Amino acid sequence: MAIRVSENMKFNTMVNNLFRVQDSYNEFMENMATQKKINRPSDDPIGMGRVLSLRKSKASVEQYSRNIDNCNSWIEITESKLYSVGELLMDAKEIAIAQSTATASAETRSISAVAVQQIIDEMLSLANAKYGDRYLFSGTMMDEAPFSSSYTDNSRIGNFIAAGDNTFDGDVTAGGTYAGVPYVVRIVTGGDLGEATYEVSDDGGNTWGPSSTVPASGTISLPGGLDLTFHNNGTNQLAAGDTFSLHTVEAAEDNTFDGDVNAGGSYTGSQNKTFVVKIVDSGSFADATYRVSSDGGKTWGGLESDLDTGTITLGDGIGLTFTAGTTDLTADDIFYVNAFTPGYYNGNSEEFSINIGRDTSFDYSISGESIFTENAGGSVDIFKILNDLKDSLEADDPDGIAAQLDSIEEASVQVNENIARCGTRMNRLEIAENNMADLKYNLTRLISNTEDADIAEIATRLAMKEIALKASYAMASEMGSLTILDFLK
């Protein structure tokens, strides 16, 4: 059966086919230009989803590599400092061996004492080294240098510090607002208020000013508008060697509570800790409730409401006394107190950590407490040993000197252990780094497979489409030229 063919049919069919060929052609052109198979989500929805997931994984991997690099730098520097510490200990050991024999004399010993002091100073600067803005060996406490040059006999409680926008604004035992150098007040001769004498250091305890008498009122005034008030409400008098250090007191800008807060008591804990008090319900002392944290604010104890008297106990012998001002305590006010054990160390035992893989946190810093003190895994207090050595040398005491030899040996072992720790950590990081490099390569390959166009294939297809297009154009030009009109007279 013959089908009627009208003019419109012929032209419609030809035009539609032309469009179809051109559409394919354009598609291949685009793929060539962008070198990608997937130029928009509708080209391949599943592929696009997969590409996005892969890209995210790749970005993760790159980030982890960066983190690993950061760790590596930190650990390398830590290791090199520790090597130097080890060498200093060797020097101290040689001195100790030499000076403990009978061939040494009081003179040699006192000269050696000076040498040991230099070793101590050198070690102090190593222990207080920084990487960027952070101390290498201070745990996570960044307020002050981790090691002080002098031994603090008594456990010490830092002044409370109120968080930046507490609305409770208090004066500390130290009156006034001050920001800057940590003042240290040391009792020279003990006694009652009015009799005891003290001296002040304005550089954290390295150098001391002249001594003066503590007035009977108990208030010492310090430069910069600070004053320190000793309240005679304990049983003990001020004793020689008692040291009080004042930390930076932030007068919180948004604080509205303007009463006093005193930290008091004596710290009975075995490690340096940061106690934090968080106000939960606002109100007057009778109404307010609070919680206490002994690990710097991470975990909290139960809800307490015994603020009525204004004095609360934080644990381990520390108390905090609030004196009301004009504004009440408000929820989320934060107060924290650093508590220190006797010794040279002012940091804590926390370690910095960072993510080096999915669900993989890596501790990369080693706290000074583990390295230089007998707590947190260590066995000897290195600074104490060196200072004892120096004292023995100055006192011309060969037995005392000999007694330090074993301790110095133990100290060397302690330092070496920590150097080994650095080594194992770096090994682990290297493995992680290699993993990351592998992953990155594989991810890049997967992304490319899904998304990139195979140029050779596209070029061939393009050539084929071009031929089809040319054929269509040739047909189109023929279309109009063959009609019956040419044959009718």
Partner 1 sequence: MSSISLLNTAREGLSSHQTAINLTGSNITNVNTPGYTRQVAVFSSLGCVNVGAGQVQLGVEIEKIERVYDKFVGVQISDKMHDLGYSEAKKGILEKVEIIFNESEGNGISELLDKFWSSWEDLSANPSGIVERDALVSAAQNLASIFRSSSAELVSVQNDANTEIAGLIDQANIYMSDLADLNMEIGAIKTGKGDANDLIDKRDEVLKGLAEIFDFQHLEDSNGAINVFLPNGMPLVIGDRIWELDVEANPANSSFYDIVFKDDSATVLNDTVTKGKVAGFLEIRDNKIASYLNDLNSLAASIIAEVNVRHQLGYDMDQNLGGVFFEPATEAENMWVSSDISEDVNRIAASETVNGDGDNAKFIGAFKDEFFMNGGTSTFNDYYASFVGKVGQDLADEERGLDHHTNLMNQLINKREGISGVSIDEEMTNLVKYQLGYNAAARLCNVADELIDTLLNLVQ
123 vs 252, which CB is nearer to partner 1?
252
69 vs 308, which CB is nearer to partner 1?
69
23 vs 195, which CB is nearer to partner 1?
23
CB of 426 to partner 1, least distance (A): 17
Q: What is the DSSP-derived secondary structure letter of residue 449?
A: H
Cβ pair 126, 85 in contact under 8 A: yes
297 vs 400, which CB is nearer to partner 1?
297
Question: How many other CB atoms are found less than 10 A from the CB of residue 427?
Answer: 10
296 vs 400, which CB is nearer to partner 1?
296
CB of 396 to partner 1, least distance (A): 43
Q: Give residue 297's region: left, alpha or beta (phi > 0; psi -120 to 50).
A: left
Closest to 213 (Cα-Cα) out of 235, 238, 234:
238
102 vs 484, which CB is nearer to partner 1?
484
Non-local (6+) Cβ contacts of 55 within 8 A are 447
Q: Which residues pair with 158 in a beta bridge?
A: none
CB of 22 to partner 1, least distance (A): 15
6 vs 424, which CB is nearer to partner 1?
6
- The one-letter amino acid at 69: D
Separation between Cα atoms, residue 127 and residue 146, nearest integer Å? 7
CB of 277 to partner 1, least distance (A): 11
214 vs 334, which CB is nearer to partner 1?
334
Q: Which residues pair with 238 in a beta bridge?
A: 191
159 vs 414, which CB is nearer to partner 1?
159
Helix (H, G, I), strand (E, B) or coil at 257: strand
Helix (H, G, I), strand (E, B) or coil at 269: coil
Q: What is the DSSP-derived secondary structure letter of residue 159?
A: P
Question: How many other CB atoms are found less than 10 A from the CB of residue 302?
Answer: 6
CB of 368 to partner 1, least distance (A): 13
164 vs 234, which CB is nearer to partner 1?
164
Closest to 323 (Cα-Cα) out of 454, 172, 142:
172
Tokens 């590599």 appear where? 65
CB of 12 to partner 1, least distance (A): 7
Tokens representing 316? 């381990």
CB of 341 to partner 1, least distance (A): 16
* CA-to-CA dists, residue 343 to 58, 103, 248, 279, 382, angstroms: 48, 34, 21, 32, 11
CB of 201 to partner 1, least distance (A): 24
Helix axis angle, 398-451 to 45-100, nearest 10°: 170
Cβ-defined contacts of 4-11 (< 8 Å, 24+): 10/479, 11/479
CB of 93 to partner 1, least distance (A): 35
CB of 197 to partner 1, least distance (A): 35
Element (H, E) at 413: helix 398-451
